[in-house]
Structure 1
């Protein structure tokens, strides 16, 4: 725990703090019938996107993925919102499709008539979705996660190619991803700044 975390945890009710931001870019709406894929905690930014899409009369389909059924977040809320447009994928097969959400997404892309793809979750999953969307000529947006020290674009710890996730992202479109294919889904900077392979 660093000095900032220690200071924040020592604050009491009514104490004032200063917040800078938000920085970076979020999702932008595209398409009428988008496919959204959320893996694990990647559902956190996808859930409000689903709500916004529904409020605008769009018809999103969501694949909610996790390692096991016990790790599916916001499941009941998303069921109420999406009904039959919610699909489940668990790596262990404990609920819904048995296997990675990206594999299920490829199947739905082949069967459905989607006009855009959105994703947040493990980077290997998002890289597979990027390739699937590119093959089909579909626009895609993914929300990346990188180790961030300063979170204001100065330190470069969150760099991917010419971009800084904290300022240029976290949401990247297909055009931006094409510029970082040597890193996206393959490598990232660790806390020391060394390029390391991504864990599967």
Structure 2
């Protein structure tokens, strides 16, 4: 059921993932599909979109990095404190009939990919997860992914776990060894762009979750629209397939701030 009016729920549990990231657990059977998000009201601060995670029926979770005023306020909350939710919103990932498939997550992008991996394993698909982070403490959901039976390919910037370098490099090497039926990626947009380029070059179907600044979450305000198509990432997105992605000229180059101002990525040419 989609909740367009806010659903108020108490925090049931808080899992400390690392010094920057916490997972907040709620007792509610959220009806969602992999890739969708909820607009989360943080009382006294703001409403923010977060990917939905669920390990068992009757519970859902959001995994949040403390990066701004609102998310830092959320990190200061305790079990029993109330949050508001609207949703779920957005487009969803789609699985092929057979595998193997590859999931590439950077930072805390695994939060949007966990339930895709779970659904794929339930359908007996082989799942390869390319998980990258700055160090081993920031690699999310490792135990959960092992429980699912996914094959893990780890990388860290400092070499504290797995390959020393980036998950894009690990994925590119693996593409040379085997054929993936489909690829999915969530993380920093420059990483997503590099994965897209590898998939286009090798004719591998893929989907990305494209993050844009959201205000309403259901397609009215237009804040998350992308150039030049005007697709709203809260409705036509956030999940976009590789062919449609070719039509989004700003992908990997720039995005818009809360005020609508264009802001180029530092590694992209203007």
* TM-score of the two chains, using structure 2 as the length reference: 0.66
Highest relative contact order (Cα 8 Å, sep 6+), 1 or 2?
Answer: 1
SS at match of 2:44: helix
- Matching of residue 102 in structure 1 with residue 102 in structure 2: no
Report the CA distance between 1:20 and its aligned residue. 4.1
* TM-score of the two chains, using structure 1 as the length reference: 0.87
Report the CA distance between 1:42 and its aligned residue. 0.2
Of 167, 170, 174, the residue aligned with 2:235 is 167
Q: Please, which runs of 5 or more residues in structure 2 have no aligned partner?
A: 1-40, 47-73, 75-79
Shift in CA distance, 50/154, structure 1 to aligned 2, threshold 3 Å? same
Shift in CA distance, 114/156, structure 1 to aligned 2, threshold 3 Å? same
Report the equivalent of 2:134: 67
- Matching of residue 197 in structure 1 with residue 197 in structure 2: no
SS at match of 1:146: coil
Report the CA distance between 1:136 and its aligned residue. 0.7
Report the CA distance between 1:185 and its aligned residue. 1.2
Aligned counterparts of 2:256 and 2:208: Cα–Cα separation in 1? 19
Report the equivalent of 1:125: 191
Aligned counterparts of 1:168 and 1:25: Cα–Cα separation in 2? 6
Shift in CA distance, 58/186, structure 1 to aligned 2, threshold 3 Å? same
RMSD: 2.5
Aligned counterparts of 2:44 and 2:143: Cα–Cα separation in 1? 35
Which runs of structure 1 show a deviation greater than 6 angstroms over 4 or more consecutive aligned residues?
A: none
Aligned counterparts of 2:153 and 2:45: Cα–Cα separation in 1? 42
